[in-house]
Structure 1
Amino acid sequence: MKGSISRKNIFVECAASFRSPVTRMNILAQAKQSGQLIAIAHLLYDPEHKTLTNGGNEIALEPRNVALLEVLLSNVGEPTSIEQFIEQVWENQYISKNVVTNRISLLRNLLREHVPEIDSTKLIVTYPKRGYYIPNSHVQLVSSSRVNLDSDKQTSANHKLKLKPSKFAFWSSAFVITALLAAVTLVNTFFDVKVESKDQALYVPQVRLLLDQISSSRQSMQEDALKLKVLLLHAYSHSPYIHLANMRSPSYYLMSLSEHHHFPGSDAINDSDYKLTFNLIKDKEATDTLEVILYHSASARVAWRNLYSLEDNELVATVNELNSDLTEYFKLPTPILRIDQELKTSLTQLSEAEFDKLIEQNMSGAEISFYTRELLFSDQSSDVLRHWIDKVKQSTPTPSPELHMLLALLTYRSGEIEKSLQMLQREYVAEIPNNALILMLQANISRKKRNIEQYLSNYLKATAALTSSIPAKQVLAHYTSDNKQASCLGLWKDALSNIEYMQMPDSLLWQGVERFCAPIKTA
């Protein structure tokens, strides 16, 4: 039967999808040399103007997606690995492989939208363990003159059809209008469901954003600066479509919010597309103002700028307004996390007695994260730290990945190293962007278990992850050094140069770095 599919046919189709692609063809170079266009199914790519059109209508493409498409068109029929995409599109930046797969998914989604008759996974094929490619059968060179001729013929045909109205056309139009009205009603009725479905889509790429610093013109504004820092860091570290570049820096979990005007991990500039900077401006005669400037990280050019009034006790409203504006600017499918709770504490350093009282208070998620981080740098006793950890676990039984990491490090700081290392093996850690500090601690876990293969894997990942904050050439030179232990320690000293306490003799974390860098034969 025509509608039935035999089991044999399914296996044949599956086998065909994994068959070796045919000979590589650089159709992009051919098109540039001949001045022709490239047809991808019925879409047309113009390599001169870097535009993709569907029936004469241009399809919006981000620069990264254009670069991704051109790599595929340079290797038609031949799989391009994720590592090659990173090298050619991101110019050797050390980024997560998930960024590449998300971009491929986005490109497939665009093709699915404009070429619905062909499965998008057949237009961009996944070749297991080798990469992605466009098959020869779906691309060809097309002369621009032929495209113009076809367009003229279509216009002429459409014109002739318009000159012959009929009853059929009238009733067809009436039917279409009725259907459209019904569709509008249906969309309005089920709008929330549609949005929810879109929210769950996996193809939308994250915005790689770096929170830089909050500068204030007067000392009296330091309290507002700290509160803004707490609220902003909480919102952006908990938003699914924001890749917070700060979290890639090894210093991210090692910096106090109250002692620096920079955000933790603000040295991870190499991992961001955008950098967000804030200025608090004090005005004697008017309301205080928050200036927000968004820069392109690569060029340092201003991409977006806005001013916000800072009313008394309205910081949360200001942050939510800013986040709403940036959600619109980046066209995110879901809003940046909205802060629903006002800050209930003063966000100040507390004595042990005051801290005991604080533990009994109900606090917002932003405050819990703040105090958990600040305790890492306090002189509180191990008992106080453990009391706080128990309190947080009771109030937040399923913590966010970031809060889980802070609790793991606080457990480490309290002296319960074994328990901390166990926490680093939990599933939460897999959701954290690759961070050299976390990978270093995981490597030490593998080393202690005498799993040398896993230790070496994490050693390489941790060392490579240092490129988020120090030059890649410096990291590469480490592998040719005669004294790799000293070279390794030197990399970590440079990466953590703004963390003074880390390199003290009694620092537990620095002892972890020394263990990480020690030759295997001495383990």
Structure 2
Amino acid sequence: MADILSQAKTRQCKIAIDTLIYDPVHRQLSKAGKEIELEPRSQELLEVLLQQTGTPIAADELIAKVWQSNFISKNVLTNRISTLRAIFKEHSPESDATKLLVTYPKKGYYLNAARVSLVEAVEQPLASPPTPSSKKWSVHLVYIAILLVTVGLFIRLTPQQESKITTAPASSSVTVPVVELLLHKVNVTDNSLKPYIKAIKTALLAQQIAYPYINVINQDAPSYFLSQIDDSPYWPGSRNTLFSDYKLNLRLSKGRSDFELIAQLELVFHSSEKRIFSGEYSLDIKALDSGIARMTADLAKFFALPAIPQPQQNDTLAFVSKTMAAQLDSQQLSSSEVNYLARQLLQTPALEPQKMTHWLERMERDFPNPEEEMEIWLGLLNFKMGQHENARERLFKARFNNQIDNAFIYLVLSDLALKESKPDLFRLYYLKSQVSLSLVLPSKQIFTQLDPDNIQQRCLGAWESLIKNERLSNDLGTWIDIFQDYCDRAQTYFPAPQAK
């Protein structure tokens, strides 16, 4: 992280941002000596980005520093980022503004350090006087750029595909940087193929989560962190998610040899079930991960996203076929294997404390800076074992980027806040948990639950509705005992019932 702003103030010099110059003393942005007008919020945002040049800053952190509030919509930040990019594009048309002010999916925003540097404070040459209409057109250009970005949030590019892939007709529209995708269902044409479902679901889920330009909506479902990956047709979280852009299904059939599977991939709009992408893939049973990587690469190509880096060389089928004891004893685990194993451990009724403590300590050594999902899995394991301080630290760190909006995680965080007698944090996470449940329950039901009388009588009322839901009862059943006294401890922090 380079604090270019502080360095410039200390050395009493200016900052070059591509072909623009920022004077931190007078807080002025200019091009060839001509001042560029910045609104106060845009100026503050630019200075925060200059304080951490080259390092992604999470949206929540930017909002807290610029607006001094945790209740500002992220759309406000997105619009301000678009405004800054429009200014960069207008005054440095030869440069790509998106490569100067970079969006790092699931991480935040940053200024490209290669295009920001310190310069000595020298007099800039005088610019030619602007024509009377130039300022007016500058304002128009800014608003046009913002409008284009906003329109891009609702339009998807459907590029031409290779001959083996059939798609809906292409349209000339704007590409969205991050795609919301639900991994939904795997069907088999023959029961003899069932042993491969678990490995295929595990590998495809791991590859999609690792790819920053695809947001796997399954992670936001309450049951995602409560479900095992098994040979049932559905991915964790897929049956109780109401919203996503796209839904992915697979159909497995036998190949021409005993070592070949045929996987037919189908991508549909979640709202209409209209198919927009399909492809057929030959999967070598001995190298399932490589075949699934081709699917992942084709999805990225279809959405016109950046090329996907080569995934880790895993043998997912061999790993998931081992006993849990053998998996725990594996000496070199990949991040996807840790996530899979932690998920299975969470659904194990009784964990051997000494062995689990040893394994968690090993994970801490082997993965000192885990990705967001692994941090959550390890945090939940600590929580289940009663190691609340470690659980709180891991879950809080994982929540820092606020990319996974999961009601169950918020419920755990609210319980940890109760245990630490922190009423404000408890209320915050309790409310976040209720709001996140609107992904799977009618919003009217959530509003009803927030009535003071209902909260006092049934503080987990919305969760009780989920438990009665056949699709979630098995997932939540092993955890509900942990929250038996939750409402008793929460009573003092809820508003009193209103007098009739």
**Same structural fold, with TM-score higher than 0.5 when normalized by the shorter chain:** yes
Q: Structure 1 residue aligned with 2:268, among 285, 288, 295? A: 295
Q: Which amino acid aligns with 1:225?
A: I
Q: Could you list the per-position Cα deviations for residues 179-202 of structure 1 after superposition, in whole angstroms to 9, with x for gaps in the alignment? A: xxxxxxxxxxxxxxxxxxxxxxxx
- Bigger drift between 388-397 and 299-308 goes to 388-397
Work out whether residues 408 and 423 of structure 1, in 8 Å CA contact, stay in contact via their aligned partners in 2. yes
Whole-angstrom distance in 2 between the partners of 1:293 and 1:386: 42
Which of 17, 22, 28 pairs up with 2:39?
17
SS at 1:318's partner residue? helix
- Deviation of residue 306 (structure 1)? 0.8
Question: Is the alpha carbon distance of 1:106 and 1:235 closer, same or farther for their aligned partners in structure 2, counting shifts above 3 Å?
Answer: farther
Describe the shift of the 1:243–1:223 C-alpha distance in structure 2 as closer, same or farther (beyond 3 A): same
- Contact 2:246–2:267 (Cα < 8 Å) also in 1: yes
User: How much has 1:294 moved relative to structure 2?
Assistant: 0.7
**How far apart, in 2, do the equivalents of 1:283 and 1:297 lie?**
29
CA contact (8 A) 1:212 1:266 kept: yes
* Matched AA of 2:28: I
Corresponding residue SS for 1:303: strand
Structure 1 position 213 matched with structure 2 position 199: no
SS at 1:278 equivalent: strand
**2:342 maps to which of 363, 372, 375:** 372
Contact 1:344 1:363 (8 Å CA) reproduced? no
- Range with greater deviation from structure 2 (492-501 or 287-296): 492-501
Is the partner of 1:269 in helix, strand or coil?
Answer: coil
Cα distance in structure 1, aligned partners of 2:293 and 2:475: 35
Question: What secondary structure sits across from 1:482 in the alignment?
Answer: helix
One of 417, 433, 444 as aligned partner of 2:388:
417
Deviation of 1:296 after TM superposition, in Å, equals 0.8
Q: For the structure 1 residues 6 and 112, does the alpha-carbon distance in structure 2 shift closer, same or farther, using more than 3 Å as the test?
A: closer
Deviation at 1:214, TM superposition (A): 1.4
Q: Does residue 326 of structure 1 match 2:299?
A: yes
C-alpha distance in 1 between matches for 2:22 and 2:367: 52
More helix by share: 1
- Residue equivalent to 2:51: none
The answer for the alignment partner of 1:161 in structure 2 is: none
- Paired AA for residue 245 in structure 1: I
Structure 1 residue 447: Cα displacement: 3.2
* Counterparts of 2:382 and 2:27, CA distance in 1: 56
> Could you tell me how far apart the structure 1 residues matched to 2:23 and 2:450 are?
55
Does structure 2 conserve the Cα–Cα contact (< 8 Å) formed by 1:210 and 1:244? yes
Query: SS at the partner of 1:250?
Result: coil
Match for 1:243: what amino acid? Answer: N
Structure 2 Cα separation of the partners of residues 114 and 4 of structure 1 = 16
Superposed, which structure 2 residues align to 1:110-509 within 5 Å? 138-139=139-140, 205-258=177-230, 260-267=232-239, 269-282=241-254, 287-335=260-308, 338-343=311-316, 345-348=318-321, 350=323, 352=325, 354=326, 358-378=328-348, 379-426=350-397, 429-480=400-451, 482-496=453-467, 497=469, 498-500=471-473, 507-509=480-482
Deviations 1:432-462 (A, max 9, x none): 4121111222223333333323322222222
Distance 1:500 1:117, change over 3 A: closer
Query: Contact conserved, 1:402 with 1:432, CA < 8 A, in 2?
Result: no
Secondary structure of the 1:439 match is: helix
Structure 2: which amino acid aligns with 1:310? L
TM-score, length-scaled by structure 1: 0.60
1:166 alignment partner in structure 2:
none
Could you tell me which amino acid in structure 1 is paired with residue 404 of structure 2?
P
Conserved? CA contact 2:466–2:473, under 8 Å: no
Compute the displacement of 1:330 (Å).
1.0
Number of matched residues?
372
Distance 1:217 1:511, change over 3 A: farther
Structure 1 distance, partners of 2:485, 2:318, is 34
Q: Is the 8 A contact 2:253 2:261 kept in 1?
A: yes
Could you state the TM-score of these two structures normalised by the residue count of structure 2? 0.63
Identity of aligned residues (%): 22
- 1:211 deviates by 0.8
Alignment CA distance shift 1:504-1:204 (3 Å):
closer
Provide the secondary structure at the position in 2 that maps to 1:470: coil
Q: SS at the partner of 2:250? A: strand
Q: Which moved more, 1:218-227 or 1:450-459?
A: 450-459
> What SS does the corresponding residue of 1:221 show, helix, strand or coil?
helix
SS class of match (2:299): helix
Deviations 1:470-517 (A, max 9, x none): 222221222347322455423113345434356659845433764686
Alpha-carbon distance between aligned partners in 2 of 1:103 and 1:336, rounded to the nearest angstrom: 30
User: Which of the pair has more CA radius of gyration?
Assistant: 1
RMSD across aligned positions (CA): 4.2
| SS state at 1:333 partner | coil
Superposed displacement of residue 271, structure 1: 3.6
